[in-house]
Structure 1
Amino acid sequence: MGLSRSLSPKFYTWLCGLFAALGSVTFGYDLGIIASVLPSENFNGVTGHPTSTQQGFITGCLLLGAFASNIWVGSVADIFGRRRAILAGCMLFFLGGGLQCGAQSINYMYGGRFLAGMGIGMLAMLAPLYQSEIAHPSIRGRLTTLQQFMLGIGAFVASFIGYGMYHGTKGPIQWRLPLAIQLLPAVPLALFILLLPESPRWLAMQGRSDECHAVLARLHARGDLNDPFVIAEHREIIENVELEKKITQNAWSQLFTSRSNLRRLILGVALQFSVQMTGVSCIQYYSPQIFASIGISTSVTLGLQSGNSVIALIGEALCVFFIDKLGRRRPLIWANILSGFTFIVGTILIAVFPAGGNANASRAFVAMTWLFNLFFSAAIGPLSWCIPVEMFNSTTRAKATAITSSAAWISNFLIAQVSPVAFASVGWRYYLVFAICCMSNALFFWAFLPETKGIPLEELDAYFERVPILVPGSGVIVRDARAREEELRRGEVYVGADQVIHVRDEKRGASMGEKDAGEMVEHVI
């Protein structure tokens, strides 16, 4: 509590979101370190010299585990709370990571990767969920895109550790130590997550109104329970949660029977599938094979990936700083278009100059992969976690994002399994798939994805009811989130799509009134 009183509310909330995203460091590290583990001679000896198919399954087990956890993690988060669910994810990750670094056969690796994947799947879904539910509207994007930034830090660390261990050590330490290091970021998360404030929206869902009020004050007003913004925000959350309980008796069925919810669910699933269709996982998992096709050795490739991880961090940092100013829709569209162009140029280079026929072509190809990574990291990757958690109401949010996250893992797994076969069958022509998909992604999101920047979570149901399915030309305007925060400070509380309640602190002689929200459409959207 002392820290929350001494820091500005938005900075304190941002720090809480940053700490919750520690699990994503393990996510990025685990995805990145496997590329340097698989070539280790000692690792191959211990695991029985796995075939390329078995190596692909070692990689894929992590993704299958993440997919499996997302089937039930939404219900766990709704029953036990966001913080306890994050703690459970850490415990599963510790178990899986321990099995990996102590593996005595390939079966240990399969089991360890699957269990670690379950933990990672939980943490990757729960961190942005928690961040979105504690954030001010004006910094929600900055918090939820921390997921990808912390993932980038994990990949950055993995690239340098993997490169150093691959070249500087021999024997078991070459792969056991890098796999053990993955456990470190989850230790402080597991130890201290319960000291963070619980999601105020989850507390409201449990009927714990006073605790919800106290947490909002701690997050947004240095503990001042009488702050006008906190009073209005608390009232808006409580009123909307009560309304949602009446109209959403069964959250699972409402996701599929409500036209508005189904639309948002389809958008979220499409967004997660679109991420993998940019080719990002293909480059991440199979960079040695891809770079070898243009004449670059595995040793050099691991070094280049270290540079690539720096590029990713730069892009992710840009996203964190600017996403609440630029919004979600336009950066996502343009990043897909630019990523598609990098694949077009890269495909031409591999087709014309295969197997290192031209040193300049090899350098240009590397430059294209780095540019792709910059565009991907500056928008596509971070927004795939940011957008789904801010499209749903409190009753359906955890379950809906569990489904959209499941789409991320299963599509990731499919790309991991299909890519080696595609490389062997069609070679460089496989890259055309990603070039085409990047462009089709941009077209799809231009047509169907509304802007969600800065709209309070309690007002998104009404927003999606008003925005037509075909977005271009609809005339929808989203105001600066800071303007909506000022309305909350004046006591304007939105309840569903039907009314606006004006609330003032009763100690100041407050009154309450209602009016038709139809008059407020221009203010809301």
Structure 2
Amino acid sequence: MGFFPSKGTRRLGLLSVFFALGSFVWGYNIGIIATLYVNSGWSKALHKPNAAQKGLITAIYYLGTWISYVFLSHPLSDRLGRRYAALIGTIVSCIGGAVQTGAGGKTGYAMMIIGRIISGLGNAVISTAVPLYQSEIAPARRRGGVVVLNHIGMVSGLAVAFWVGYAVSHWAGKTGFDEGWRLSVAIQFIPALFFVIGLPFVPDTPRWLLEKNRTEEAQKALIFLRGAEDSPEAIEPELQEIKANVEFHNSITEASWYVLFTDGDLRARLWRGALLQFMAQMCGATAIKYYLPTVFLALGLSKDLSLMASGIESTLKICCTIVEMLIIDKLGRKKTLLLGCVVMSVAMIINGALPLAYPNNKNHASDYACIVFIFFFSFGYSVGFGPNAWVYGTEIFPTYIRAKGINICASAGAIGSIVVGQFFPVGIQNIGSKTYFIFFAINVASMIIMIIWYPETKGKTLEEMDGLFGKLIGGEGDMEHGGEGRGGNKAQDDGDEVERQAVEAGKR
């Protein structure tokens, strides 16, 4: 039986995969819009929007996410818990999807804009509640890989959206022309329904329960998560350390958002998390996610091949992100971030230079090389910014301020997405492939910033981040040398000892 995962490991895996279903809804909502931009039926229903109008449809979604990150998402996560926040976010996202599905007639464009804002409000809640939940139930040694499942869910949603867009493009006749794109948008309701039905049956995170002084429920949740029903005493060291950390932070300050700006230690975490999210969107990822079929069309592919290539690219992203899940807790956050930036920089400079050297699709080899390097860009993003921006952000903040911290960080990403979503189609229309040189410069700048100012957080417990970032517990940790700070006992350090004890007790 030693070859099989322990009970706690199985439960951790199943819960993390289930929550990735919420990220799937988020990713599908993003991906399906990219297919609509090359759909003739959608274009007719919205009276043939131009490049600037398409840019607004993209960017306005992130206005919704920004509003939600700042004003809605963190109060929901703090007051209702991570799972019910995710439930409300999913319902709101589906309302936005319903408005988009019904867009048409004289008010079609306005309906699409309103629907995108509403979806942004809901998806922002999902995009923070899911990784928060995953990070708080995972032992330190596995936390990176567990939170990467959030990104796997998102890119899986992207991939399925592109394949659905490809499928409905083959729906012939007037019905397919008028209703195919509506069906493709509405399909998001299926995974959303399963997610909403399942959420009330999963436990809240022990950290959030302790934050709400629900100690008995926290103990039961941790016993369940670690599979320690046969030896409940095995989880006590981990439970007590989490409890002590929560009590320590509650004793020094109230969980008000402004402490993130007034407290030097928290401010050091906040600007790093926020800048990471901002760089993750400004690197070119938003452009590729939303305009990939359009980019492939510009490189000489037919509409059919553009949608197919987009589906293949998004499917490969899943595989790349699985690779990241396997290596992130071995190589660390910083190395994989830097690796991703190097790959993306190379991809962007080639996509900027080749169309200038061989304009107007005169050299097919040049066009195909650009397509190949777009795939390389996706690999770089999938092992770098894509998952790491969320992993890093969810693990650096203490429990009492974590939801607020990650939401403010995510709001910085929303600002980056608004900028890129609006300027990319206009940039391509006016300066062509030179637009990619901007992304190249941003990726190079990002590498320099991360080398100088970002400490490695691999293997640290959520409680040990205090030592890494300094003064709250006396500045014992050295940021540049990855100081351990306040130690933490072995049970909390990786959670595996708890599972081992539980398994041994079961055998006895």
With the length of structure 2 as denominator, give the TM-score of the two structures. Answer: 0.90
User: Using a 3 Å threshold, how does the CA distance of structure 1 residues 42 and 490 change in structure 2: closer, same or farther?
Assistant: closer
User: Using a 3 Å threshold, how does the CA distance of structure 1 residues 435 and 251 change in structure 2: closer, same or farther?
Assistant: same
Question: Is the contact made by 1:221 and 1:227 (CA closer than 8 Å) also made in structure 2?
Answer: no
Counterpart for residue 59 of structure 2: 60
Alpha-carbon distance, 1:185 to partner:
1.3
Alpha-carbon distance, 1:373 to partner:
0.6
Listed as ranges, the gaps of 5+ residues in structure 2 are: 499-508
Alpha-carbon distance, 1:470 to partner:
9.7
AA matched with 1:279? G
Equivalent position SS for 1:438 = helix
Alpha-carbon distance, 1:242 to partner:
1.0
Q: Distance in 1 between matches of 2:37 and 2:350?
A: 30
Counterpart for residue 217 of structure 1: 223
Listed as ranges, the matches of 1:32-181 within 5 Å are: 32-71=31-70, 72-104=72-104, 105-169=108-172, 170-181=176-187
Deviations 1:145-191 (A, max 9, x none): 11110111111111111112113333222211001101111111111
Q: Distance in 1 between matches of 2:291 and 2:198?
A: 36
Listed as ranges, the matches of 1:264-413 within 5 Å are: 264-413=269-418
Counterpart for residue 233 of structure 1: 238
AA matched with 2:198? F
Counterpart for residue 476 of structure 1: 482
Listed as ranges, the gaps of 5+ residues in structure 1 are: 1-5, 493-525
Q: Distance in 2 between matches of 1:364 and 1:208?
A: 57
Alpha-carbon distance, 1:436 to partner:
1.4
Counterpart for residue 202 of structure 1: 208
User: Using a 3 Å threshold, how does the CA distance of structure 1 residues 212 and 427 change in structure 2: closer, same or farther?
Assistant: same
Deviations 1:111-167 (A, max 9, x none): 222111211111011100111111111111111111110111111111111112113
Equivalent position SS for 1:223 = coil
Alpha-carbon distance, 1:491 to partner:
11
AA matched with 1:114? I
Deviations 1:354-409 (A, max 9, x none): 22111111111111110111121122201111110000001110000010111112
Counterpart for residue 510 of structure 1: none
Counterpart for residue 253 of structure 2: 248
Alpha-carbon distance, 1:108 to partner:
1.9
Q: Distance in 2 between matches of 1:397 and 1:212?
A: 18
Alpha-carbon distance, 1:60 to partner:
2.4
Question: Is the contact made by 1:95 and 1:115 (CA closer than 8 Å) also made in structure 2?
Answer: yes
More helix by share: 2
User: Using a 3 Å threshold, how does the CA distance of structure 1 residues 86 and 332 change in structure 2: closer, same or farther?
Assistant: same
AA matched with 2:334? R
User: Using a 3 Å threshold, how does the CA distance of structure 1 residues 47 and 489 change in structure 2: closer, same or farther?
Assistant: closer
Alpha-carbon distance, 1:490 to partner:
12
AA matched with 1:70? Y
Deviations 1:182-220 (A, max 9, x none): 111111111111111101111101111111111111101
Q: Distance in 2 between matches of 1:69 and 1:394?
A: 20
Q: Distance in 1 between matches of 2:111 and 2:436?
A: 34
Question: Is the contact made by 1:218 and 1:224 (CA closer than 8 Å) also made in structure 2?
Answer: no
With the length of structure 1 as denominator, give the TM-score of the two structures. Answer: 0.87
Alpha-carbon distance, 1:24 to partner:
1.1
Counterpart for residue 196 of structure 2: 190
Alpha-carbon distance, 1:469 to partner:
11
Q: Match for 2:447 among 424, 430, 442? A: 442
Question: Is the contact made by 1:335 and 1:379 (CA closer than 8 Å) also made in structure 2?
Answer: yes
Question: Is the contact made by 2:280 and 2:385 (CA closer than 8 Å) also made in structure 1?
Answer: yes
AA matched with 1:78? D
Q: Distance in 1 between matches of 2:482 and 2:182?
A: 54
Q: Distance in 2 between matches of 1:491 and 1:429?
A: 54
Question: Is the contact made by 2:136 and 2:205 (CA closer than 8 Å) also made in structure 1?
Answer: yes
Q: Distance in 2 between matches of 1:489 and 1:320?
A: 18
Deviations 1:324-374 (A, max 9, x none): 122111110121012101212222211111221111111111111101111
User: Using a 3 Å threshold, how does the CA distance of structure 1 residues 490 and 391 change in structure 2: closer, same or farther?
Assistant: closer
Q: Distance in 1 between matches of 2:36 and 2:492?
A: 52
CA RMSD of aligned residues (A): 2.5
Counterpart for residue 25 of structure 1: 24
User: Using a 3 Å threshold, how does the CA distance of structure 1 residues 365 and 470 change in structure 2: closer, same or farther?
Assistant: farther
Alpha-carbon distance, 1:245 to partner:
0.7
Q: Match for 2:426 among 421, 424, 430? A: 421
Question: Is the contact made by 1:391 and 1:457 (CA closer than 8 Å) also made in structure 2?
Answer: yes
Question: Is the contact made by 1:21 and 1:150 (CA closer than 8 Å) also made in structure 2?
Answer: yes
Deviations 1:200-257 (A, max 9, x none): 11110111111111111110133346333x1011101111111111112243121111
Alpha-carbon distance, 1:58 to partner:
2.1
Segment drifting more, 62-71 vs 402-411: 62-71
Equivalent position SS for 2:416 = helix
User: Using a 3 Å threshold, how does the CA distance of structure 1 residues 488 and 109 change in structure 2: closer, same or farther?
Assistant: closer
